[in-house]
A = this chain, B = another copy of it.
């Protein structure tokens, strides 16, 4: 990165690396097929049990859901609460305050996905 500095857009190139790096960091934590969907389900349902969650996040298997929940718990998005006083044991999952910081991300993605779907239905494929 030495000789192609044209002084045209020096800041842009820095911004690019910043964005790339930050987006990469974000995707590392919330990327993948399921994580955001689980977070959304958790946020909007308040408290959910395992099987209910599996029903809401359509298509996910118990094994994958279990693994994803562990990941999300480690990263502070989910709290796992065990009611061991009951039998059989009841386990609830709730979203944490930290997961609320994803609100703008989720809104942006949701909004974009919605309009994109409409665009496709209309005429994206006709030039």
Contacts and interface: CB of A to CB of B under 8 A. Distances in A.
A16 B36 CA distance: 12
Contacts of A102: 112
Contacts of A114: 18, 22, 25
A71 to B, nearest CB: 14
A105 B106 contact: no
B33 A16 contact: no
B23 A40 contact: yes
What band does the interface of chain A fall in when counting residues whose beta carbon is under 8 Å from B?
A: 35 or more
A106 B76 contact: no
Contacts of A33: 27, 31
Interface in A31-87: 31, 33, 36-37, 40-41, 44-46, 56-57, 76
Given A16-B40, A16-B56, 18 more contacts: A12-B44, A12-B45, A19-B40, A19-B44, A19-B106, A20-B37, A20-B40, A20-B57, A21-B113, A22-B109, A22-B114, A22-B117, A24-B113, A26-B109, A26-B116, A31-B31, A98-B124, A101-B116
Interface of A: 9, 12-13, 15-16, 18-27, 29, 31, 33, 36-37, 40-41, 44-46, 56-57, 76, 98, 101-102, 104-117, 124
